[in-house]
A and B are shown apart, each in its own frame.
Chain A
Amino acid sequence: MAKITFDGIEVEVPDGTTILNAARKIGGGVVPPAMCYYTPLKGSGGKCRACLVRVAAGSTKDPRPMPKLVASCITPVQDGMVVENTTSQQVLDVRKGIVEMLLINHPLDCPVCDQAGECDLQNFAFEHGVSTTRYEEERRTFEKIDIGPYIQLHMTRCILCYRCVYTADQLTDARVHGVLGRGDASEIGTYIENTISNDFSGNVIDVCPVGALTDKTFRFKQRVWFTKPVNAHRECSHEKCNGHVTLWYKGKDVLRVTARKDEYGEVKEWICNECRFEKKETADWIIEGPAHIDRSSVIAQNHYELPVINPQVIADLPESTVRELEKNPPLKLGGPNGTSF
């Protein structure tokens, strides 16, 4: 086990845990944002630089600070490490810069984008960015492409997180899409016109942090915040899919089906294309009840609040630290149901 101090809060995690996952154990507003890292996807992370943090002390053995900010999603903790995220002005400034970089070529077409309301980039910009832009040049644009009957690729919105590439690599037997080109001319594509037709291809929609890969069966149907998520399951004949999903209702209609996600927007169990695209009747499903959206986002019907800190971590802190945090909170402290702590 390794004990680290993250934004003044001590937490103990198994050796080899990344700084980001140690922060996620604490929970709440101290958790660095992640636009490319995705726990279920091996190899993901390190690219977007949204989660950069300052390591003020490397370890007990070598307490020197690290010379540069590090990507918390891929940097493992060391015992005695001291990390600054929300408590470092440098980190917050750099993060603003990252928001700006990610937005300069992003179309900002949120009003017509199906991802709006549950978009990682929207949330990231809202929480960490500035509201003006200094970019005056022409933005990079691409034609929209239909990759198969269910998925549309809108490359203009892509932030090149590579998540969909890892998904195809790790979930399907033959990846047909990838990252083509180089630099800011890189794009997700199949090179020659090709259809992504694997049974699990629909999962690329769920992992996409922005509206670059969207569900054609849900296209322009409804803003996500006007739909009601309900957990449901069915007996799925596909051996790798256990049919645990979230149905998104408008009135009595199932408008779309997605995998269930955790508070960091990460899919808990992958689902097959049949469950996702072809089962749009309530009768197809055994309803479990309303889905709780853990995530802070406009999807939570305008209750846009910072998530709360893990009460178990708070319980282990010395009282003086808790009082200090309450007085000068870098984050919102809370109890199990989000009540003020």
Chain B
Amino acid sequence: MEPTTPTAKPAFSPAAQAEIKRLLTHYPDERKKSTLLPVLHIAQAEFGGWVSPEVQDLVAETLGLAPIEVYEVSTFYTMFNLKPVGKHVLEICRTGPCMLRGSDELTAHLERITGAKVGQTSPDGHFTLKEVECLAACGFAPVVQVREKYYESLDTEENVQAMLSELKGLVHRPILPWEGNLPNSLQNN
């Protein structure tokens, strides 16, 4: 699936709307802005793995915020992709403990396999490579995060291949990060 660039004004699905409604009950009435980060996560899951300006405007409208309040936040936190991404974003930890156990080599290896450089999407649209800082999994280094799944101990070819083939067999379905009963958003075909 190609990343979608919304042309018409985007809208949240009924499930997302219900989830946002639930989240709003967690904070005092006059503090709707508190839901901004969770709602941005929902938006990113709903609209192809990234938040376009139109999607961010939708978030602003939904929460009664000025659009700039959303832009300020979305550009501060690194989890929000501001440009279209591939089907799976491989977030490779590059920080000290992972580096000590081969994250540089892992990155180079993934660049070779996927044909994408860090910051790019592979020609088949499958993988976007993104370097991130410490993912708090230092004892199982090197680590890659794909949506909410951690792939750990990627210092063997076997583990890397297992990750990639698992991902290739998966179809991306935009599932709300907050649906507690689902183990992750990567559902087997």
Q: Point out residues on A near B: beta carbons under 8 Å.
A: 174-182, 190-192
CB distance from A169 to the nearest CB of B (A): 10
**For the complex, what is the distance from the CA of A176 to the CA of B57, rounded to whole Å?**
12
Which stretch in B69-77, B90-98, B135-143, B150-158 binds the other chain?
A: B69-77
Check: B169 CB closer than 8 A to any chain A CB: no
Q: Which of B66, B72, B75 contacts A174 (CB 8 A)?
A: B66
Query: Which residues in chain B, 56-72, are within 8 Å of chain A measured between CB atoms?
Result: 66-69, 71-72
**Contacting residues, chain B, for A177 (C-beta < 8 A):** 68
**For the complex, what is the distance from the CA of A178 to the CA of B53, rounded to whole Å?**
15
A178 touching B68, Cβ below 8 Å: yes
B68 touching A181, Cβ below 8 Å: no
A191 touching B75, Cβ below 8 Å: yes
CB distance from A164 to the nearest CB of B (A): 12
CB distance from A172 to the nearest CB of B (A): 11
Instruction: Report how many A-B pairs have Cβ atoms within 8 Å.
Output: 31
**For the complex, what is the distance from the CA of A175 to the CA of B66, rounded to whole Å?**
7
A176 touching B68, Cβ below 8 Å: yes
Question: 9 shortest A-B CB distances, which residue pairs?
Answer: A191-B71, A180-B75, A178-B72, A178-B68, A192-B53, A181-B75, A182-B76, A176-B68, A175-B68
A179 touching B66, Cβ below 8 Å: no
A178 touching B76, Cβ below 8 Å: no
Chain B: interface residue total (CB-CB under 8 A): 10
**For the complex, what is the distance from the CA of A164 to the CA of B64, rounded to whole Å?**
23
**For the complex, what is the distance from the CA of A179 to the CA of B72, rounded to whole Å?**
6
**For the complex, what is the distance from the CA of A190 to the CA of B69, rounded to whole Å?**
10
CB distance from A153 to the nearest CB of B (A): 14
Q: Which of B53, B67, B69, B76 contacts A181 (CB 8 A)?
A: B76
Known A180-B76, A191-B68; further 14 A-B contacts with Cβ < 8 A: A175-B66, A175-B68, A176-B66, A176-B68, A177-B68, A178-B71, A179-B72, A180-B71, A180-B75, A181-B76, A182-B75, A191-B53, A191-B75, A192-B67
**Contacting residues, chain A, for B53 (C-beta < 8 A):** 191-192
B53, B68, B71, B72: most-surrounded residue (chain A CB, <10 A): B68
**Contacting residues, chain A, for B78 (C-beta < 8 A):** 182
Query: Which residues in chain B, 28-82, are within 8 Å of chain A measured between CB atoms?
Result: 53, 66-69, 71-72, 75-76, 78
CB-based nearest B residue for A168: B68
**Contacting residues, chain A, for B76 (C-beta < 8 A):** 180-182
A180 touching B72, Cβ below 8 Å: yes
CB-based nearest A residue for B56: A191
**Contacting residues, chain A, for B69 (C-beta < 8 A):** 178
CB distance from A108 to the nearest CB of B (A): 28
**For the complex, what is the distance from the CA of A175 to the CA of B53, rounded to whole Å?**
17
B68 touching A190, Cβ below 8 Å: yes
**Contacting residues, chain B, for A182 (C-beta < 8 A):** 75-76, 78
**Contacting residues, chain B, for A175 (C-beta < 8 A):** 66, 68
A178, A179, A190: most-surrounded residue (chain B CB, <10 A): A178
CB-based nearest A residue for B54: A192
CB-based nearest A residue for B68: A178
**For the complex, what is the distance from the CA of A181 to the CA of B66, rounded to whole Å?**
17
CB-based nearest B residue for A179: B72
**Contacting residues, chain B, for A190 (C-beta < 8 A):** 68, 71
**For the complex, what is the distance from the CA of A180 to the CA of B69, rounded to whole Å?**
10
**For the complex, what is the distance from the CA of A181 to the CA of B71, rounded to whole Å?**
9
**Contacting residues, chain B, for A191 (C-beta < 8 A):** 53, 67-68, 71, 75
Question: Can you pick out 27 interface pairs between chain A and chain B where the beta carbons lie within 8 Å of each other?
Answer: A174-B66, A175-B66, A176-B67, A176-B68, A177-B68, A178-B68, A178-B69, A178-B71, A178-B72, A179-B72, A180-B71, A180-B72, A180-B76, A181-B75, A181-B76, A182-B75, A182-B76, A182-B78, A190-B68, A190-B71, A191-B53, A191-B67, A191-B68, A191-B71, A191-B75, A192-B53, A192-B67
